């Protein structure tokens, strides 16, 4: 039985269609992340699942039960908000137990639930404090604790880390992932941060303009983006995409960047049989920054593919160096070793890993191979 089923969901606000036929099937124990830019509809979808918004058409099932006409409090869900939504006049313990008191849970069970959650989230010393006496990370732990004591079928997280600083976001991201591994809960998590999506999810639903562009595990989304939007959105820096032409050379496909230019780049591909119908046609080439390295580094290609390219900008980050260069006149980002610093304005030699390039149809923008 699926923990959550979303069937052909539509939502309109006046003349504006915010959700366009969303369909998702989520299994028990999965950690699903809805990711996309602001305004793509991900929070609206979460609110409809929670019952805070009513869909225009389509249906929602939670645990095999149709909940379209079920009130939020009866859907067996728990929600963690971006703003924490804690009662300022109550202690941490009172915030956690408030929902249980409303449901008339016996005091002994309340105490047991609070003890278990406080130990799990390491907030035992905070139970007597008010929210104003807590840090942002502590408040978020309390909000998660309040959701955990319900032991629902489904947890919904609405951008819970966006109010935290960068260091605390990383720490809380690890805490939530560790928590999921411990309790095996089903989680639907909304974020605009694709790093959160890649590191936390068992599957990612990439959304854009009210539609799910791709729904797959993180490795598939990263390695085989379904279309140009996914390729350009997922990854930091994102996948380089550039116009090219596909030709044949000795029976193998060759992708040409900047065809006819003095600095054209020709990349011989192997194992791209699906691209055969596009021989002699324009394509969009996609290559990840980590697939472009300093010339001294050899990828597993025989012989290694080396190109000489002008360098426009160098950005040291400590752990790596990001380089903006030109391939056949097209801009591309490379991720190279931290101790390598090419000179801006000069040319340098780079190695390319053509085993991991993607080809897209320029008309449909969908992945070819």
Question: Average pLDDT, stretch 129-158?
Answer: 90
Instruction: Specify burial of residue 236 (Cβ count, 10 A radius: 0-12, 13-18, 19+).
Output: exposed
Task: Report how far residue 367's alpha carbon sits from residue 369's, in angstroms, rounded to the nearest whole number.
Answer: 6
Q: Could you give the count of Cα atoms lying within 13 Å of 150 in the half-sphere of its Cβ?
A: 23
What is the DSSP pairing of strand 358-360 with strand 347-352? unpaired
- Residue 169 pLDDT greater than 80, yes or no: yes
The domain locations on the chain are: 2-233, 240-360
Give me the chain's average pLDDT, please: 93
Percent over 90 (pLDDT), the chain: 73
319-to-201, 283, 322, 335, 336 alpha-carbon distances in Å: 24, 33, 10, 10, 10
What is the three-class DSSP state of 233?
Answer: helix
What is the three-class DSSP state of 89?
Answer: coil
- Residue 159 pLDDT greater than 70, yes or no: yes
State the pLDDT at residue 365. Answer: 97
Instruction: Specify burial of residue 266 (Cβ count, 10 A radius: 0-12, 13-18, 19+).
Output: middle
Report yes or no on whether pTM surpasses 0.85: yes
Are residues 232 and 241 in contact, defined by beta-carbon separation less than 8 angstroms? yes
Structure tokens at 276: 């055969």
The larger pLDDT score, comparing residue 34 to residue 151, is at 34
| CATH number assigned to the domain covering 2-233 | 3.40.50.300
Task: Tell me if domain 2-233 and domain 240-360 are identical in fold.
Answer: no
- Residue 301 pLDDT greater than 70, yes or no: no
- Residue 283 pLDDT greater than 90, yes or no: yes
User: Which among 43, 58, 54, 63 has a CA at the least distance from the CA of 13?
Assistant: 54
Percent over 70 (pLDDT), the chain: 98
State the pLDDT at residue 297. Answer: 76
H helices, E strands: number in the chain: 8, 20
Express each pLDDT in 82-131 by its tens digit: 888 899 999 999 999 998 888 888 999 989 989 988 888 889 999 999 99
State the pLDDT at residue 228. Answer: 98
| CATH number assigned to the domain covering 240-360 | 2.40.50.140
What is the DSSP pairing of strand 154-158 with strand 187-191? parallel
State the pLDDT at residue 252. Answer: 86
Least confident of 253-262, 265-274, 323-332: 265-274
Question: Average pLDDT, stretch 210-233?
Answer: 98
Express each pLDDT in 180-211 by its tens digit: 998 899 999 999 998 999 999 999 999 999 99
Task: Report how far residue 28's alpha carbon sits from residue 49's, in angstroms, rounded to the nearest whole number.
Answer: 16
What is the three-class DSSP state of 209?
Answer: coil
State the pLDDT at residue 302. Answer: 62
Q: What is the maximum span of the chain, computed from C-alpha positions, in angstroms?
A: 79
Q: Could you give the count of Cα atoms lying within 13 Å of 98 in the half-sphere of its Cβ?
A: 16
Task: Report how far residue 299's alpha carbon sits from residue 292's, in angstroms, rounded to the nearest whole number.
Answer: 9
What is the three-class DSSP state of 21?
Answer: strand
State the pLDDT at residue 61. Answer: 97
What is the DSSP pairing of strand 252-257 with strand 265-268? antiparallel
Instruction: Give all strands (DSSP E) within the chain, no chain letters.
Output: 2-13, 16-27, 31-35, 57-62, 65-66, 77-80, 154-158, 187-191, 203-208, 211-216, 240-249, 252-257, 265-268, 282-287, 292-294, 305-316, 321-327, 330-336, 347-352, 358-360
Question: Average pLDDT, stretch 231-244?
Answer: 96
Task: Report how far residue 94's alpha carbon sits from residue 227's, in angstroms, rounded to the nearest whole number.
Answer: 48
Least confident of 168-172, 266-270, 302-306, 331-335: 302-306
């Amino acid at each position: 039985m699926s923990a959550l089923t979303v069937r052909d969901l539509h939502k309109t606000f006046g003349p504006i269609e915010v959700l366009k036929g969303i369909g998702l099937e989520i299994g028990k124990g999965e950690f699903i992340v809805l990711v996309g830019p602001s305004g793509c509809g991900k929070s609206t979808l979460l609110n409809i699942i929670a019952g805070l918004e009513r869909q225009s058409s389509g249906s929602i099932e939670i645990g095999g039960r149709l909940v379209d006409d079920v009130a939020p409090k009866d859907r067996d869900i728990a929600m963690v908000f971006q703003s924490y939504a804690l009662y300022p006049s109550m202690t941490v313990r009172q915030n956690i137990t408030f929902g249980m008191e409303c449901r008339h849970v016996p005091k002994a069970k309340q105490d047991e639930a609070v003890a278990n959650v406080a130990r799990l989230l390491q907030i035992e010393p905070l139970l007597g404090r008010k929210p104003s006496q807590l840090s942002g990370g502590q408040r978020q732990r309390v909000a998660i604790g309040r959701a955990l004591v319900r032991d629902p079928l489904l947890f919904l997280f609405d951008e819970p880390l966006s109010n935290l600083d960068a260091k605390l976001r990383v720490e809380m991201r690890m805490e939530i992932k560790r928590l999921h591994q411990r309790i095996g809960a089903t989680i639907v998590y909304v974020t605009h941060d694709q790093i959160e999506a890649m590191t936390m999810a068992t599957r990612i639903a990439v959304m854009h303009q009210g539609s799910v562009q791709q729904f797959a595990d993180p490795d598939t989304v990263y390695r085989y983006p379904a279309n140009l939007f996914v390729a350009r959105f997922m990854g930091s820096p994102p996948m380089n995409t550039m116009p090219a032409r596909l030709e044949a050379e000795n029976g193998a496909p060759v992708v040409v960047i900047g065809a006819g230019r003095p600095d054209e780049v020709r990349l011989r591909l192997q194992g791209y049989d699906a691209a055969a119908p596009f021989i002699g046609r324009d394509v969009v080439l996609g290559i990840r920054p980590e697939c472009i390295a300093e010339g001294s580094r050899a990828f597993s290609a025989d012989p290694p593919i080396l190109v000489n390219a002008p360098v426009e900008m160098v950005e040291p980050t400590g752990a790596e160096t990001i380089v903006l260069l030109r391939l056949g006149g097209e801009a591309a980002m490379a991720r190279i070793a931290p101790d390598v610093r090419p000179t801006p304005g000069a040319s340098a030699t780079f190695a390319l890993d053509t085993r991991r390039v993607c080809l897209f149809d320029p008309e449909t923008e969908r992945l070819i191979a």
